[in-house]
Chains A and B, each alone.
Chain A
Amino acid sequence: MRLRVTFAKLNALRYTGHLDLHHIWERAARRAELLLAYSQGFHPQPKISLASALPLGFSSRCEVMDMRLSEEIPLDGLKERIQAAVPSGLQILKVESVDEKLPALQTLVAEAEYEAVLTEPADGSTLKQQVAEMLGASSLPRERRGKSYDLRPLIGQVHVVETPQGSIHLTMRLSAREGATGRPEEVLDHLGIPADTVRVERTRLIFINESIE
């Protein structure tokens, strides 16, 4: 049975990385008494896959994971059972059963949306101007971990939102395809926003079969 779980990753769990999250799920499954399927071989690994790695420090309202079970179980009450077994920063939003034959979850992700809340005062109109320039550029050459790449094609949309309370948010839609991932912190860095003055949350994962509005 292939279970698809949609969940939020919040609070302290922002500081838990992608690999550690796999362990959290393996243990949560054991606590929930779900019989995880394991790979064969000398070091059997649980069959858990996460749609898209979330950078350390980001919260998320839309993480998606597939886990394979070695048994068929009813979905009734399963969401509550899983919720009771996970640490406090995980909120289970949806549990569904999906076709075993679907391609791997990671290959299905197309784009991701993020919301970045600036924690320091900033000038909204200047920022809007910068964003417009960024989106108007035909290429944005950048370097990351010693490799140069073009950030521009990885950016879908970026909007600057000023709230009535005077705080500033940026919403972004970035590519999230395997091997072509737009990173919010790269966009923020291009805009000159230091990483420690912003809180980023992933708000939506868009899959390739979803219509893009």
Chain B
Amino acid sequence: MLTPEQIEAKLDRILLKVQKPGRYVGGELNITVKDWETATTKVALVFPDIYDIGVSNVGLKILYDQVNQRADSLAERAYVPWLDMEALMREHGIPLYSLESKRPLSAFDLIGFTLPYETLYSNALNALDLAGIPVRSAERDEEHPIVIAGGHSTMNPEPMHAFIDAFVIGEGEEVIHDILDVLQAHASRADRLLALAKVPGVYVPKFYETFYLDDGTVSHIETLVDGIANPVVKRIVAKLPPPPTKFIVPNIDIVHNRVTVEIMRGCTRGCRFCHAGMITRPVRERTVEEVVNAADTAIRATGFEEVALLSLSSSDYTNILELVTAVGEKFQGRQLNVSLPSLRIESVSIDLMDKLRQRRTAGFTLAPEAATERMRRIINKYISDEDIINTTREIYARGWTTIKLYFMIGHPSETLEDVQAIADLCKRVLAEGRKVIGWKAKLNAGVSTFVPKSQTPFQWVSVDTRERILEKQALLKRELYRDRNIKLSLTDPDDSLLEAWLSRGDRRMSEVVYTAWKNGAKFDAWDEGRKPEIWKAAFDQHGLDIDFYTARQRRTDEVFPWEHITAAVRKNFLFQDFRMSLEGQIRVDCRQNCFACGILPTFSNMRRENPGEGWKCPDVKSPAKKINVELPVVGD
């Protein structure tokens, strides 16, 4: 195994031959470099995309802090090298290494990947390979690190089950400590994996087996050892811990140069297409004071020029006006931008943004998602055209010249008329804008393609075929390309389809992932990496049909490949919501009325112990049961 000095010497010879060598050298402000020898457990946290994207990831930052706060452990970071650097690393025999101490990843005890989206899968395999670690879990032995993964896409972990030793389902802040404890208490790989499988919220694929029906769908899923959970219930924290503030400040330009403060986790809106909204329940809010103090501390610690107040739906934060006022006052005249994403389409949102405007006026972003009343009822995001027109007119009138509208095509039962309505609405918004500010008015329409995700009310529906997507996109281009003040951006159908088969794939899909990676798939989310023909060939090689995973309406009684994993929102609830969508029925914000999605019964003890305003679920008043029903019973 190469020493840090050997790796650095090799790097010195190649770094000036690659684009942005600053990605590969570490040494940033606010990193933690702990003594290697005195740490019992060494963790490498990996974002399987380039540095420029990965370094600002908040999830990994939280885990980095959690691990490094322990006296007995250390955490370092790694990202995957861009194509030019990877080629040189392989040529010069440089394994994937951590930025802090320049040690090869194979020197660590634990490798933790974050997999927020499916298009990173091929990169995760490539990262393991570049680290000299067997890509397949079954081929690792005592000398190899334990490889874990978490993040939103792991709500269906099956397409990656062959490569990851253990998945963390749900929130990582507390479970990471359980995992470190297991590693310290057990020495052998076998003992460690069995002990990990008994940690609530941890899924170890080798202890489960999936059985299939003749038609290729799942019959059932069995556990292979006693004392492990089926289903594995996601972990959550009862109260959001203090947010990270010592953000790493890169020495080179990256995608998001900013401080991020999560103001609230979870969402009560219940938009049926929204994976995050379904899997991050319940809603838990931080107090205004905590958010403002964290933002202030973080700005002092980093010097960043932007603060992002993060949540799935800022307008729903209980004290949003108070928060925005406090933040506005705090950062007045300090040459800072404050961004507040995901605002509701109403004039109050403009008041909020007005309070935050300081350094320069960026565009104003709204996400209607659909443009007809029928469609909006189906997806459960109901806004009237009049609200959209009135709000956008007001935005132009108050000095923003560019409005960005996000839509999706490919919602269930969508017709070309529904797509036409998107174009019509964009034109109408811009026409209204012109009445107010003339030809300065601009509109950016971002139209992505809907991909049904596991653990959501739309997990039963088919995704549009490639032809259908292209037909809808052609319509939008025809309608909107003529106006040069409208900028239309579309998602490549190949990207959407890749995401579609990976997100609802079963265990057999992992062979497709393996073969595609072996044949060169990587950076699937990048134009430079898009290789649909490699993926198609991999499906053919394994006798699997792409349409089975994408363009297929699931039976109502179908057992899903992810049936043994749950985000604690019951399948019955999701199915009822799916039925309601077919009938165009709206379900209102569940802050107004609890619809018993399943979160409260699963986490009733936790809620009982944390009553009041922190959660947006109703209080649990019934006495606690003797047996802890929240989490699966853990064997010894």
Contact = CB atoms under 8 A, between A and B. Distances in A.
Nearest to B29: A87
Contacts of B335: 36, 38, 44, 46
Nearest to B335: A38
Given A31-B302, A57-B16, A15 B360 contact: no
Contacts of A119: 12
Given A20-B252, A87-B28, A15 B22 contact: yes
Contacts of B398: none
A30 B306 CA distance: 12
B300 A31 contact: yes
Nearest to B99: A12
A17 B253 CA distance: 10
A20 B22 contact: yes
Contacts of A17: 22, 252
10 contacts: A13-B27, A20-B252, A26-B305, A27-B305, A30-B304, A43-B360, A57-B15, A87-B28, A88-B27, A89-B251
B17 A87 contact: no
Nearest to B249: A27
Range, interface on chain A: 35 or more
A28 B304 CA distance: 9
A11 interface: yes
B503 to A, nearest CB: 36
B21 interface: yes
Contacts of A11: 27
B617 to A, nearest CB: 40
Contacts of A197: 13
B604 to A, nearest CB: 45
Given A12-B27, A89-B27, A196-B17, A20 B251 contact: yes
Of listed B14, B301, B303, B334, residue having the most chain A CB within 10 A: B303
Contacts of B305: 26-27, 30
Contacts of A85: 303
A33 B299 CA distance: 11
B360 A31 contact: no
Given A44-B359, A57-B16, A87-B27, A30 B251 contact: no
Interface in A59-81: none
Most chain A CB within 10 A, of B16, B24, B304, is at B16
A49 interface: no
Nearest to B25: A12
A89 to B, nearest CB: 6
A19 interface: yes
The 6 closest A-B pairs by CB, nearest first: A12-B27, A27-B303, A30-B303, A12-B25, A15-B21, A31-B303
A46 B305 CA distance: 12
A157 B113 CA distance: 53
Nearest to A10: B27
Interface in A12-50: 12-13, 15-17, 19-20, 23-24, 26-31, 33, 36, 38, 42-44, 46
A195 interface: yes
A57 B249 CA distance: 20
B26 interface: yes
A13 B26 CA distance: 9
